[in-house]
């Protein structure tokens, strides 16, 4: 890798991280406010229907790609026209097959998930979204390979604003589950229109044997990995429905959704940038190791206080907002999911790095083990403890995922503890202080807000005291190199 290529990756990576961070902040603000309103306008059963149907549809994501898009991004050389045409054609075919299967299995969905007409229409809308999404794949791949993350974020912002605006408005009007149905369809059409405006690409039909064979070599293990992740999470919730009520599924969905907000804000932003960046750097393990460490440092700097603050302040928010008292039974599950997300925030960047350097079969073995383990634990624990058993099993399995650190160390030299320990200490101290302030925070919305702000300030002070020299060094490096990738 030439010095010019390294500089180019650095500049585009820092631009991408900043762009995704700004995007994520805006989207999380929109999603946060919308979720607050939706939780107020919808009852747990409506929320449960959306969560359950989404989990079912997410299982079909495996069939919508077979890893071809990821293979195009990870590929060292520039994709050919045949590669692009093959990927587009295969995905169009798979998307239509998926939509047809979802519609054809209507009797099964009606009986197994007890869906009424509104629930089935939501299922169809989410199924049709595969067809719309398949049109966005090639423009998105081209933008990612060019590390043009500015072009990628605009369609995502438009989609989310459109989705939540419509969902909240219709939920306020009393449309219930149908609010999601309309929002899903409009979101999909808006996304296609915007991305083709940003990155025009003339669709080309054709499946080329040699191209398909080469892409599937990386794509199939990558996509099986994704399938296992969905079996581990989404299918599990579908099966658990046999042992709990739809309202209890709603509690699990609410807890899972809230626990992931900090993850979406921090980890997603960096992982989206680092996968194509790491793929371009796979021949330089020294720079790759430094890049992984830096990513872990900044992820933990952001996500640890967010998770700790959420865990402490979740109960007060259900007290000061009367409409949220109905969600109090979900709080124990929320705490367990937060623990899971905290560990995942360290593990996901590592598995992302393994995939980027072509170690996709290694991540496949790890995911197979975790999937088997969660299924072995979750069903018996749900039968014994109720719906919280799912969260208990998830938290327990998350501990085993730390083995990924040892696996990555065999491929590239990294230091994990050095890059996360002080962030963890600062977040822990902040959480203890907030626990002693919770009574004050439950007195009113104003007091709650003041408590949250105080927690944030406490964390910033602690981080400055504990990590002053490291923070100064990292900020200076960022300003000098304009990258999260260490030289």
At which residue do the structure tokens 């020294």 appear?
286
Please indicate, yes or no, if residue 9 is contained in any of the structural domains: no
Clarify whether residues 211 and 136 are in a common domain: yes
Clarify whether residues 156 and 83 are in a common domain: yes
Please indicate, yes or no, if residue 229 is contained in any of the structural domains: no
Please indicate, yes or no, if residue 431 is contained in any of the structural domains: yes
Clarify whether residues 376 and 435 are in a common domain: yes
Please indicate, yes or no, if residue 163 is contained in any of the structural domains: yes
Residue 80 pLDDT class (50, 70, 90 cuts): confident
| Count of structural domains within the chain | 2
Clarify whether residues 192 and 288 are in a common domain: no
Residues 427 and 408: their CA atoms lie apart, in Å, by 26
Clarify whether residues 306 and 166 are in a common domain: no
Residue 482 pLDDT class (50, 70, 90 cuts): very low
pLDDT of residue 230: 67
State the average pLDDT over residues 207-211.
80
143-147, 179-183, 293-297, 386-390: lowest mean pLDDT where? Answer: 143-147
| 322 CB-contact burial (10 Å; exposed 0-12 / middle 13-18 / buried 19+) | exposed
**What's the gap between Cα 130 and its chain centre?**
18
Predicted structure pTM score: 0.66
Residue 116 pLDDT class (50, 70, 90 cuts): confident
- Write b or e for each residue in 331-352: b if 16 or more Cβ atoms lie within 10 A of its Cβ, otherwise e: bbbbbbbbbbbbbbbbbbbbbb
Please indicate, yes or no, if residue 200 is contained in any of the structural domains: yes
Clarify whether residues 217 and 323 are in a common domain: no
The DSSP call for residue 42 is: S
Residue 483 pLDDT class (50, 70, 90 cuts): very low
Instruction: Pick the closest to residue 370 from 346, 395, 405 (CA basis).
Output: 395
Structural domain for 67, as ranges? 20-224
Q: Which of 172, 196, 224 is the last residue of a domain?
A: 224
Please indicate, yes or no, if residue 235 is contained in any of the structural domains: no
Please indicate, yes or no, if residue 232 is contained in any of the structural domains: no
Clarify whether residues 173 and 264 are in a common domain: no
485: left (phi over 0), alpha (psi -120 to 50) or beta: beta
At which residue do the structure tokens 């109720």 appear?
386
Please indicate, yes or no, if residue 357 is contained in any of the structural domains: yes
Q: Which of 192, 224, 256 is the last residue of a domain?
A: 224
Q: Which of 224, 253, 272 is the last residue of a domain?
A: 224
At which residue do the structure tokens 């080469």 appear?
214
pLDDT of residue 480: 58
Clarify whether residues 285 and 377 are in a common domain: yes
CA dihedral over 5, 356, 216, 148, signed as positive or negative: negative
């Amino acid at each position: 890798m030439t010095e010019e290529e390294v500089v180019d990756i650095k500049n585009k990576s820092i631009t991408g991280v900043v762009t995704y961070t700004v995007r994520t902040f805006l989207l999380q603000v929109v999603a946060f406010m919308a979720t607050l309103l939706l939780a107020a306008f919808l009852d747990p059963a409506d929320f449960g229907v959306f969560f359950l149907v989404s989990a079912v549809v997410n299982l079909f994501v495996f069939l919508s790609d077979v890893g071809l898009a990821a293979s195009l991004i990870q590929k060292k050389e520039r994709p050919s026209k045949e590669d692009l045409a093959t990927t587009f054609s295969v995905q169009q075919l798979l998307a239509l097959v998926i939509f047809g299967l979802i519609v054809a299995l209507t009797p099964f969905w009606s009986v197994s998930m007890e869906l009424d007409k509104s629930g089935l229409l939501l299922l169809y809308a989410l199924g049709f979204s595969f067809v719309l999404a398949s049109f966005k794949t090639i423009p998105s791949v081209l933008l990612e390979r060019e590390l043009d993350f500015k072009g990628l974020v605009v369609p995502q912002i438009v989609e989310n604003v459109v989705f939540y605006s419509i969902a909240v408005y219709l939920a306020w009007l009393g449309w219930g589950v149908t609010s999601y149905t309309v929002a899903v369809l409009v979101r999909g059409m808006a996304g296609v229109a915007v991305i083709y405006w940003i990155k025009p690409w003339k669709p080309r039909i054709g499946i080329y044997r040699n191209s398909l064979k080469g892409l599937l070599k990386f794509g199939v293990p990558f996509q099986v990995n994704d399938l296992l992740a969905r079996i581990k999470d989404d299918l599990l919730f579908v099966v658990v429905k046999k042992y709990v009520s739809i309202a209890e599924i709603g509690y699990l969905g609410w807890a899972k959704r809230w626990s992931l907000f900090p993850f979406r804000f921090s980890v997603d932003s960096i992982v989206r940038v680092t996968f194509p960046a790491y793929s371009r750097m796979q021949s330089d393990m020294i720079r790759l190791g430094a890049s992984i460490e830096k990513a872990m440092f900044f992820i933990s700097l952001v996500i640890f206080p967010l998770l700790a603050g959420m865990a402490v302040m979740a109960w007060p928010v259900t007290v000061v907002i009367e409409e949220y008292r109905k969600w109090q039974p979900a709080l124990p599950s929320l705490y367990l999911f937060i623990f899971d997300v905290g560990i995942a925030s360290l593990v996901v960047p590592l598995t992302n790095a393994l995939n980027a350097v072509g170690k996709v079969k290694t991540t496949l073995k790890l995911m197979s083990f975790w999937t088997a383990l969660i299924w072995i634990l979750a069903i018996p624990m749900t039968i014994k403890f109720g719906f919280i058993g799912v969260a208990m099993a998830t938290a327990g399995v998350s501990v085993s995922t730390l083995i990924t650190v040892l696996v990555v160390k065999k491929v590239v030299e990294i230091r994990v503890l050095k890059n996360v320990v002080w962030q963890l200490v600062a977040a822990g101290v902040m959480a203890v202080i907030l626990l002693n302030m919770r009574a004050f925070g439950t007195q009113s919305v104003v007091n709650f807000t003041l408590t949250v702000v105080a927690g944030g300030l406490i964390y910033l002070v602690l981080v400055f005291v504990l990590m002053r020299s490291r923070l100064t060094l990292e900020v200076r490096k960022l300003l000098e190199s304009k990258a999260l990738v260490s030289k």
